[in-house]
Chain A
Amino acid sequence: MYGDCYPDMETYLFYILAAVAVIGTILAITEKHPVHAIVYLVSSFFSLATIFFLLAAPLIAMFEVIIYAGAVMVLFMFVIMMLDLGRTDEAGRPVLKQWLLPILLGGIILASIGVIAAGYASAPSAPGAITVRDFALTLFRKYGVAVEIISMQLLFAVVGALYLGRRRTP
């Protein structure tokens, strides 16, 4: 590529989107109010989706928006609105004792990422955008059995939820 010596538009876009994603996620964690936290997290998902788009994986970008922003977060919001969980006065900030373990685990993860990133050269660029056809062939031919097993597991979860949620006759 001829854009190696100076950063092109995609690089600038990546840094902007990455900053939005990181800041959005941090705000989603520190925000006390659950509905505001959802809005921050959704904006972070959007920047992640656009980053996937820049990485020539449009299908993953769309899944990110449909599944995480469009389904999971909407369900969170539905539950918060339905049960009126938006009370911020009850939620206190965690004290140092509660922070210690997350800081330790986060440190281990960050250190591992640092070691991996230091040891590897940049990955070879993909030969082009991954099409829906490639994705479908890989998923349903190569990993077909795994997909079936996972779908069975989802079925078990649905049956379990149905069992727990059924009306008990006295």
Chain B
Amino acid sequence: MIYDPIDIALLLGKIALVFFVILTLAAYLVFAERKVLAWIQDRKGPNRVGPFGLLQPLADLIKLLTKEDFRPIGADKWLFYLAPAMAAIPAIMIFAIVPFGAPLTLFGHTVQLQVSDLNVGLLLFMALSSVAVYGVALGGWASNSKYALLGSIRGLAQLISYELSMGLSLVPVVMLARSFRLSDIVNAQAGCWFIVYQPLAFMIFLISIAAECKRIPFDLPEAEGELVAGFHTEYSGMRFGLFFVGEYINIIVLGGLATTFFLGGWHGPFLPPAVWFSAKVLAFAFLFIWVRGTLPRLRYDQLMHFGWKILTPLALVNILVTGWWLVLRG
């Protein structure tokens, strides 16, 4: 195989760009969340560091990096150190398959605005999101604390349950696009977005990704009122920061995937494709913050019943109906 140096340089450039944009966006999403929540609750929010508090994420980062790296006695040393990375790395790796803009032509090369256009892209997303569970599970277990253990057991059960409905809600998308490749899925929506054909699948996917992000109303793994901070109770400094940032990276990435699967990806009139894509992703992020400011937390049995007895059967029926519809339409 002959590798073209320009191709390699472009690929590395894309990876660097994705890393930079996602990490910055995740830091500012924390800030945006604090601001929006403050606005919902009629407060001012962070406004001390820089104009309008805009340098707050930087101050938070410095604080997290300079804090003592603390490990409880009796914790499992290596797993305790590795778990935050296990939570954050799969989250950012999923973005490798998300197409964030129309293909460009640079230096005579066609550049896909996507790090890797795999023909099993959708399955890679399922694989990585099922592996992200290990960060939560091992983090809580290795801490050797009862609150952390309870949080991670809840987290495991929740993530396994909602992964199922998430996967099933994506089957109709694949049936419509006739491909697992994410660029094909986006191109299949050039005329009409899949949310028009599949509003039910979109709702199921939206609820499932809220549960995958462990956001309110599904934040039982870290329920502050009962479990101190859930699976990351014993973490401090940048290790806690990795769990925290991983969660916000997850919001961005899952918002990007919801955009790709149901809202036509980068398709849209007038504005450039990458702008459309960012606008849709940010709309999802805003929706998550808004929901957090509005809804109360579910009880554990309600969460399990909702996942297994409502979402999963609905998703299965939806697949059946979509199949019949595709057959009858011919």
Contact = CB atoms under 8 A, between A and B. Distances in A.
Q: Do A and B come from one complex?
A: yes
Nearest to B123: A62
Interface stretch (B133-141, B210-218, B275-283): B133-141
B153 A81 contact: yes
Nearest to A36: B79
A75 to B, nearest CB: 8
Contacts of B76: 35
A132 B119 contact: yes
Interface string A67-88: 0011100110110011000100
Interface string A6-20: 001100000000000
A140 to B, nearest CB: 13
Q: Which secondary structure dominates chain A's binding surface?
A: helix
A126 B47 CA distance: 62
Indicate the size class of the contact surface on chain A: 20 to 34
Given A59-B123, A81-B152, A129-B119, A71 B141 contact: no
8 smallest A-B Cβ distances: which pairs?
Answer: A70-B130, A62-B123, A65-B127, A58-B120, A66-B127, A62-B120, A78-B156, A62-B127
Contact of B130 (A3, A35, A71): A71
A120 B279 CA distance: 57
Contact of A131 (B119, B141, B156): B119
A42 interface: yes
Interface string B229-246: 000000000000000000
Interface of A: 3, 8-9, 35-36, 39, 42, 58-59, 61-63, 65-66, 69-71, 74-75, 77-78, 81-82, 86, 129, 131-132
Nearest to B156: A78
Contacts of B156: 74, 77-78, 81
B138 A69 contact: no
Interface string B105-146: 000000000000011100110111011011001101100000
Contact of B120 (A59, A78, A81): A59
Contacts of B127: 62, 65-66, 69-70
A102 B76 CA distance: 32
A82 B163 CA distance: 20
A82 B120 contact: no
Nearest to A33: B76
A61 B149 CA distance: 31
B112 to A, nearest CB: 17
B47 to A, nearest CB: 42
A69 B126 CA distance: 12
A71 B131 CA distance: 9
Interface residues of B, number: 28
Given A59-B123, A81-B152, A82-B153, A66 B130 contact: yes
Contacts of B163: 70
Contacts of A131: 119
A74 B160 contact: yes
14 contacts: A36-B79, A42-B134, A65-B130, A66-B130, A70-B126, A70-B133, A71-B160, A77-B134, A78-B157, A81-B137, A81-B140, A81-B141, A82-B153, A132-B179
Interface core residue of A8, A59, A61, A66 (most chain B CB under 10 Å): A66
Contacts of A42: 131, 134
A66 B130 CA distance: 7
Given A63-B123, A81-B156, 16 more contacts: A3-B1, A35-B141, A36-B79, A39-B79, A59-B123, A61-B120, A65-B131, A66-B123, A69-B131, A70-B126, A70-B131, A70-B163, A74-B130, A74-B133, A78-B137, A132-B120
Interface in B161-219: 163, 179-180
B226 to A, nearest CB: 18
Contacts of B118: 58
A47 B63 CA distance: 37
B158 to A, nearest CB: 11
Nearest to B153: A81
Contacts of B149: 81
B79 A35 contact: yes
Contacts of B133: 70, 74
Contacts of A75: 160
A86 B76 CA distance: 12
A131 B134 CA distance: 29
A69 B152 CA distance: 18
